[in-house]
């Protein structure tokens, strides 16, 4: 997948409102290999945008296209394939499994494609400072620690686009920087596009383009 295009897209709930946005009701294209920042205020539909692109919600007007194909036409197996091989999303609400350990949470995703070896995953845990938590239940970890587990989980798959929804809201600057490094290393290795959203604090790196939502 090389392009994600939004044409005249608007969440249904915003219909009839006077919307000032660089994304909603615009023609926007995200290119593979580029880095984007989507800055938003609360209530401007940032999480909705992520939900539309991952195929979780369809309550929008206009069109969203993957390589020119309307994603409303995607079948169940199309979406499964996209989520497994082309598009990785770090959810704002993380969507980890609290009953599983940190490592199991990563492995349950890695098991789909067997994309990363255990060594590589452990190295990421190490760099993010949660190596001692690999066998701890995620439910007992702090939100900041969970964010780091969720980031690792987002990276253990092949992807053309990586979408991260407020990835560092609960991290200090040092850990934010490490997370940013790991993310970009992996994105570059895969030649992927990166879309970062934020409502204030955002990853300190150079973006090819910034949108105000």
Return the SS3 of 182. Answer: helix
Q: Which range of residues in 33-41, 100-108, 118-126, 188-196 is near other proteins by CB under 8 A?
A: 100-108
Please give, one letter per residue, the 3-state secondary structure of 41-86. Answer: CCCCCHHHHHHHHCCCCCCEEEEEEECCEEHHHCCHHHHHHHHHHC
CB of 97 to other proteins, least distance (A): 6
Residue 134 binding other proteins, by CB under 8 A: no
Q: Do 156 and 106 form a contact (C-beta atoms < 8 A)?
A: yes
Q: Give 37 or 138: the residue with its C-beta nearer to other proteins.
A: 138
Other Cβ atoms less than 10 A from the Cβ of 47: the count is 17
The values of phi and psi at residue 45, to 5°, are: 95, 30
Site map 37..56 versus other proteins, x via CB under 8 A: -----------------x-x
Binding mask 152-171 for other proteins (x = CB under 8 A): -x---x--------------
Q: Which residues bind other proteins (CB under 8 A)?
A: 54, 56-57, 76-77, 80, 83-84, 89, 91, 95-97, 99-100, 104, 107-109, 111-112, 153, 157
């Amino acid at each position: 997948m090389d392009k994600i295009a939004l044409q005249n897209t608007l969440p249904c709930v915003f219909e009839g409102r006077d919307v000032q946005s660089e994304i909603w009701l615009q023609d926007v294209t995200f290119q593979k290999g580029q880095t984007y920042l989507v800055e938003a205020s609360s209530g401007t539909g940032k999480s909705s945008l992520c939900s539309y692109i991952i195929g979780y919600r369809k309550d929008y007007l206009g069109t969203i296209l993957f390589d020119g194909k309307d994603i409303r036409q995607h079948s169940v197996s199309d979406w499964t394939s996209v989520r497994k091989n082309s598009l990785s999303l770090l959810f704002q609400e993380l969507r980890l499994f609290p009953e599983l350990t940190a490592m199991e949470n990563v492995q349950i995703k890695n098991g789909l494609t067997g994309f990363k070896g255990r060594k590589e995953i452990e190295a990421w845990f190490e760099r993010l400072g949660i190596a001692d938590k690999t066998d701890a239940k995620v439910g007992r970890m702090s939100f900041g620690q969970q964010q780091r587990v969720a980031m690792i989980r987002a990276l253990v798959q092949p992807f053309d686009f990586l979408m991260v929804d407020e990835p560092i809201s609960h991290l200090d600057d040092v850990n934010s920087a490490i997370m940013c490094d790991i993310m970009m290393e992996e994105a570059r290795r895969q030649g992927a596009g990166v879309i970062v959203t934020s409502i204030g604090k955002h990853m300190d790196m150079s973006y090819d383009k910034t949108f105000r939502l």
